[in-house]
Amino acid sequence: MNKILSNYDEILKQIRFCNGNLDRKYCETKLIAVSKQFPKEIIQILINKGHKLFGENKVQEAQLKWMDLKRENSEKKIELHLIGPLQSNKASLALDIFDVIQTVDREKIALKLNKYLGEKTDLKKKFFIQVNIGGEKQKSGIEENLAQQFFKWCSNDLKLNIIGLMCIPPLGEPPAPFFKKLRNLCDQLNLMHASMGMSNDFESAIEHGATFVRVGTGIFGERN
């Protein structure tokens, strides 16, 4: 427990330090604590500390943990982000659980989100488009050269409130060029938010203009 809190403080300190070093055009970087595979009791420690932004990568796991956690902490204004792939048959459930969906990556998903949002008009949701920034075959995300067209269609035709772009750079390569590319794409599309950077590379992501970093291991420790 103490370890998690001291990790958390350390990460926050580094984020502030990186932000302070920059002549920033963008808003200050926010930390998403990625709590996947960690149980409610562990997550509650950070909630008690006052942290509000969390990320999960699986809809069903999030449902099991966060339906309760959100109810038990309803006064705390928690914002839960989906950062993993979304299947179309879980789109409706995802809208019930998550406040922000960062992985809008194909037409089918965008259409489903549009459909269910229409039925849940009371929901104020935010979305990111996931970009396959390394052009990797197996990786999800819209191709970089289709991103502009997809963004326009999602926001103009489907009225999805797209606030930024998200990426996961290729493993085993220096991430900086990919962070730079995603930030440039955000700027071209007039999007403030870039969600990029994880435990191992969030400092570089901030240097290149991340407004959200997603840190799991660095706070909660290794997952099984």
> Which residues of the shown chain bind ligand PLP in the complex (CB under 6 A)?
34, 36, 57, 83-84, 168, 198-199, 214-218
Q: Taking CB positions, which residue lies at the least distance from ligand PLP? A: 216
Nearer to ligand PLP, 56 or 207 (CB): 56
Q: Which is nearer to ligand PLP, 158 or 185 (CB)?
A: 185
d(CA 51, CA 76): 9
Could you tell me the smallest distance in angstroms from the CB atom of residue 50 to ligand PLP? 20
Q: Of 91 and 198, which CB lies nearer to ligand PLP in the complex structure? A: 198
Query: Least distance (Å) from ligand PLP to the CB of residue 101?
Result: 12
CB of 185 to ligand PLP, least distance (A): 18
Q: How far is 133 from 143, CA to CA, in rounded Å?
A: 7
Provide the strand spans (E) within 57-211.
Answer: 79-82, 100-104, 126-132, 142-143, 162-166, 193-195
Q: Of the two residues 158 and 210, which places its CB atom closer to ligand PLP in the complex?
A: 210
Nearer to ligand PLP, 72 or 173 (CB): 173
Quick one: 31 or 158, whose CB is closer to ligand PLP?
Answer: 31
What are the CA-CA distances from residue 12 to residues 51, 202, 205 (Å)?
11, 11, 14
Q: What is the phi-psi region of residue 101: left when phi exceeds 0, alpha when psi lies from -120 to 50, beta otherwise?
A: beta
Shortest distance, position 157 Cβ to ligand PLP, whole Å: 27
Closest distance of CB 216 from ligand PLP, Å: 3
C-alpha distances in Å from residue 61, one per residue of 35, 94, 117, 221: 10, 11, 22, 19
Min dist CB 27 to ligand PLP, Å, is 20
Q: Which is nearer to ligand PLP, 34 or 62 (CB)?
A: 34
In the complex, the smallest distance separating the C-beta of residue 214 from ligand PLP, rounded to whole angstroms, is 4
The DSSP line for 27-88 is PPPEEEEE-TT--HHHHHHHHHHT--EEEES-HHHHHHHHHHHHHHTGGG--EEEE-S---G
Query: Of the candidates 118, 207, 214, which has an alpha carbon nearest to the alpha carbon of residue 160?
Result: 118
Gap between the Cα atoms of 34 and 215, Å rounded: 5
